[in-house]
C-alpha cells in the first residue's frame, strides 16, 4: 500500500477486499450499484441489482437507499431509475479538463463537412473511451455516447492511441488484454496487430475496416498537443456501404487531419 498502484480491472474479488484497511468496501459497492444500471431502459428492481453486482440483497438495498437519499437514484413503480443528478459526477470531470470542450467545435466541423459522426477518445485502462462526440443524423448500428468504452485493439481510435504508447507499455498491453474476434475480419494475433500499429505510427492515421462490426468503417488520427505529445485520437465512422476505403482516405482524411491540427494549436498547456 506504499504507492497507489495502477488501476486494476474491477472484479468481484476487488469489491470484497478483506485485509486492506484503506480500501472502503462500501464505497466500491455503492459505485458498482450505479454501474449496474447500464443498458437498462426500464426500471431496475432491487433483486436485479443484487444479481448484477453480486452483492447480497441487504447490501444492494442499503446502497440503493443511500443513493436515493442523496438524489442519485429514484424509485418508481417499476423499479429504480438513475436521476440526472448522476450527471453531476461526470460534470466534475468536464469542469476539470478542457480538452473535450476545446475539441467540440472541431468535431462539429468534421461532422458538418463530411456528414459523418466524429469522435474524440482517449485510452483508459486499456480501453478506448469517448470523451467528446458529434453524431451524424443517420442512425448508426452502434450507438456510442460519451463515456462509452471499446477495446482498443480492434478500433481505429484505439490503434492510434496504442501507437503512441511507449514500447514497454505496449508490450504490457498485449500481455494483459485478451482479444476476441468481433467479426470474421477482426485481427487478433499480436503479430498482426503490432504490424498494424507500427504502420499507424508511421503514416499518422489508421483505417479499420469492419473489424468491430460488419458494415462499419472507421478512420482515426492522433491529436497532439503543442509539444507534439499525443493526448487523444479523433475519428470518423462511416457505413461501409456508402463510403469506400479510398474515399475515406482521399476525402475524409484531409478534413480529419486539418481538424486535429487546428485543435493542436489550442492545446498549449
| DSSP H helices in the chain | 12-15, 25-35, 46-53, 57-70, 87-94, 99-114, 156-163, 167-176, 190-203, 245-247, 253-266
Hey, what's the cell of 215?
Answer: 458494415
CA pair distance 13, 165, nearest whole angstrom: 29
Range in contact with a copy of itself (rule: CB under 8 A) among 32-40, 155-163, 176-184, 206-214: 32-40
Using DSSP's 3-state secondary structure scheme, residue 158 falls into: helix
| Residue 33 in contact with DNA, rule: CB under 7 A | no
Q: Does 84 bind a copy of itself (CB under 8 A)?
A: yes
CA distance 160 to 135: 20
| Binding-site member from 146, 165, 170, 240 for a copy of itself (CB under 8 A) | 146
Q: Is 54 in the site for DNA (CB under 7 A)?
A: no
Q: Does 194 bind DNA (CB under 7 A)?
A: no
What is the smallest separation between the CB atom of 7 and DNA, expressed in angstroms?
16
Kindly indicate which of the ranges 16-24, 140-148, 176-184, 226-234 contains the residues binding DNA, using the contact rule CB under 7 A.
16-24
126 binds DNA (CB under 7 A): no
Smallest separation, CB 36 to DNA (Å): 13
Give whichever of 23 and 174 is closer to a copy of itself, judged by the CB atom.
23
CA–chain centroid gap for 149, Å, is 3
54 binds a copy of itself (CB under 8 A): no
Coarse DSSP helix, strand, coil percentages of the chain, rounded to the nearest 5 percent: 45, 20, 35
Smallest distance from the beta carbon of 16 to a copy of itself, in angstroms? 13
Amino acid at each position: 500500500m506504499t504507492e497507489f498502484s495502477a488501476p486494476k480491472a474491477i472484479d468481484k474479488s476487488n469489491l470484497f477486499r478483506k485485509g486492506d484497511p484503506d480500501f472502503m468496501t462500501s464505497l466500491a459497492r455503492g459505485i458498482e450499484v450505479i454501474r449496474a444500471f447500464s443498458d437498462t431502459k426500464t426500471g431496475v428492481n432491487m433483486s436485479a441489482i443484487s444479481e448484477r453486482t453480486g452483492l447480497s440483497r441487504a447490501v444492494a438495498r442499503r446502497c440503493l437507499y443511500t443513493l436515493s437519499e442523496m438524489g442519485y437514484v429514484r424509485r418508481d413503480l417499476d423499479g429504480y431509475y438513475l436521476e440526472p443528478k448522476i450527471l453531476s459526477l461526470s460534470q466534475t470531470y468536464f469542469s476539470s479538463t478542457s480538452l473535450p470542450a476545446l475539441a467540440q467545435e472541431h468535431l462539429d466541423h468534421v461532422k458538418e463537412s463530411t456528414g459523418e459522426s466524429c469522435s474524440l477518445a482517449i485510452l483508459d485502462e486499456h480501453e478506448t473511451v469517448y470523451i467528446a462526440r458529434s453524431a451524424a443524423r443517420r442512425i448508426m448500428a452502434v450507438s456510442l455516447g460519451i463515456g462509452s468504452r471499446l477495446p482498443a485493439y480492434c478500433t481505429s481510435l484505439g490503434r492510434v492511441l496504442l501507437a503512441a504508447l511507449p514500447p514497454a507499455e505496449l508490450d504490457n498491453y498485449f500481455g494483459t488484454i485478451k482479444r476476441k474476434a468481433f467479426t470474421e475480419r477482426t485481427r487478433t494475433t499480436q503479430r498482426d496487430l503490432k504490424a498494424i500499429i507500427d504502420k499507424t505510427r508511421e503514416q499518422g492515421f489508421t483505417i479499420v475496416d469492419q473489424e468491430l462490426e460488419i458494415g462499419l468503417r472507421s478512420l482515426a488520427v492522433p491529436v497532439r498537443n503543442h509539444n507534439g505529445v499525443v493526448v487523444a485520437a479523433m475519428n470518423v465512422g462511416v457505413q461501409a456501404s456508402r463510403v469506400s476505403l479510398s474515399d475515406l482516405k482521399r476525402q475524409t482524411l484531409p478534413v480529419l487531419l486539418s481538424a486535429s491540427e487546428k485543435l493542436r494549436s489550442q492545446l498549449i498547456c
